[in-house]
Amino acid sequence: MTDQDHAFTEHRWRLPFGEPVDLAAWPTSPPADAGDPGRWDADRQHETKRLARHQEVLFAHDTHALLCVLQGMDSAGKDSAIRKVLSGVNPAGCDVHAFGRPSADELEHDFLWRVHARVPRRGRVAVFNRSHYEDVVTVRVHPELLEAAGLRSRRHLESLWEKRFSAIRAFEHHLADSGIVVVKVFLHLARDEQRKRLLARLDKPHKRWKADPSDVRARAHWDAYQAAWADAIARTHRPWAPWYVIPADDKPYARLQLARLLADTLDRLDLRRPAESEARVAALEAMREALQGED
């Protein structure tokens, strides 16, 4: 299967292929032509309904699946985006997997093992809240984490990252060839906006449970994280598994863009409800007669 077979039409927040990524030059706020902010929630609800309709056909057709890899800095709005965008989508055909710190068992396997086990089967939509990309970003910023995975030597870190990028590219290409449509989204948040959101977690009782002192420590490595994300995105941005960098300083706008992207992605598959065979039509008519006969 060629790259063109996997390619999507152009999208505003999709990065160009084959070019370096500079996140500092990418917007974190809605553009000037973003429309009326008062409409963003209503528009997102419309896109969610469109997504739900497409998901039903996807489930019935059973030839493809949609995997959305959702990433972003702490407090970028991943949890609330998932909750809002998937509201109204049939939970029977949708999965959300949140990947936190690897367990002892997961560390005994290769870094792709735990995510591969959660790839959606055909007919379903899945969202990864964090993913295998933590192993080429967070671990890259904090290489001491390699020791927990039994990789104690740091002598050849650059070759390690390139090997992992190569493995990710091959893994995602394999998924695409297996009918899994892979869409990767980075919710792009400004550093000052993150500070405001972290403070809000402390000030609002219903959000204090999310506050974690490690978030402040991570801010000291902001530039390193941005550089690691830019490199990871550039090295794994492919037509069969493209990256989209969505401005995330305004949550309603980011949610609208995510919902529209997922609905558009399923729309481009141009799926139709499967045609019924003559035998199935006859069986359903017999079912109708049996039910009506109960009267």
* Domain coordinates in residue numbering, the chain: 3-293
CATH number of 3-293: 3.40.50.300
Q: Reduced to 3 states, what is the DSSP secondary structure of residue 274?
A: coil
pLDDT tens sequence for the chain (295 residues): 333 333 344 578 999 999 999 999 999 999 999 999 999 999 999 999 999 999 999 998 889 999 999 999 999 999 999 999 999 899 999 999 999 999 999 999 999 999 999 999 999 999 999 999 999 999 999 998 888 777 765 567 779 999 999 999 999 999 999 999 999 999 999 999 999 999 999 988 777 877 888 888 899 999 999 999 999 999 999 999 999 999 999 999 999 999 999 999 999 998 877 677 788 888 889 989 888 888 7
pLDDT score of 153: 56
pTM over 0.75: yes
Which stretch of DSSP H or E encloses residue 126?
A: strand 125-129
- CA gap 173, 177 in Å, rounded: 6
Three-point CA angle 54, 57, 61, nearest 5°: 140
